[in-house]
Amino acid sequence: MCISTDIKNNRIDYTRSKTKGKFNLEIIDSAQKILDYYREQKRPTKYVFPILLQENLTPVQMYYRKQKVLKSYNLRLKEIGKLAGVEAKLTTYVARHSFATILKLSGTPIEKISEMMGHADVRITMSYLKEFSNEDLDSENRKFLTL
């Protein structure tokens, strides 16, 4: 769970609770607008997003609260997908994997994608990245002819 102290010098410096993978990413303008929106709400909690609204929750309470918010968020993503004409059922899981796949297709090295995802091993990242199309692979193969 991202807390205010995880944001330093226009960067998010965060350890993912699931994998213990570390993130240290620049806050891009669109993300800064989202952070500013939530900061302006001045909630009495150290957390950036309004998920854990109290400081004294037990680990079990925290888990159930996160699950409840995640379920609600995923329902809203599905509604947005329908409105946008997206046939796939959108979830945070799909969004995370789409992020990685888009980076891969744009030429970002898998090692960098893996680090951005907080994976301890690049094989984890490779296991769910979308494969390139035959056309993409054929195009790369043809580069050999120009050597």
How do residues 92-105 score in pLDDT, each as one tens digit? Answer: 988 888 899 899 98
Question: What is the phi/psi pair of residue 111, to 5°?
Answer: -60, -40
Tell whether 128 is covered by a domain. no
Share of residues in the chain with pLDDT > 90 (%): 35
Tell whether 15 is covered by a domain. yes
> What is the tens place of the pLDDT at every residue in 113-129?
988 888 888 898 888 78
Tell whether 114 is covered by a domain. no
Cα separation, 94 vs 130, whole angstroms: 11
Tell whether 68 is covered by a domain. no
Question: What is the phi/psi pair of residue 11, to 5°?
Answer: -135, 155
**Whole-model pTM above 0.85?**
no
> What is the tens place of the pLDDT at every residue in 55-93?
788 989 989 999 999 999 999 999 999 999 998 889 998
Tell whether 2 is covered by a domain. yes
H/E run at residue 26: strand 22-26
Cα separation, 14 vs 95, whole angstroms: 19
pLDDT band at 4 (very low <50, low <70, confident <90, very high): low
With vertex at residue 36, the alpha carbon angle to CA 44 and CA 16, rounded to the nearest 5 degrees, is 75
pLDDT on residue 133: 75
Complete edge-to-edge strand list for the sheet that includes strand 22-26: 7-8, 11-15, 22-26
Q: Return the SS3 of 39.
A: helix
Q: Are strands 11-15 and 22-26 parallel, antiparallel or unpaired?
A: antiparallel
Between the alpha carbon of residue 12 and those of residues 23, 64, 74, 137, the distances in Å are 7, 25, 23, 35
Domain count, the chain: 1
Q: Which value, in Å, is the radius of gyration of the alpha carbons in the chain?
A: 19
Tell whether 96 is covered by a domain. no
Domain that holds residue 10: 1-52
Tell whether 118 is covered by a domain. no
Tell whether 102 is covered by a domain. no
pLDDT band at 16 (very low <50, low <70, confident <90, very high): confident
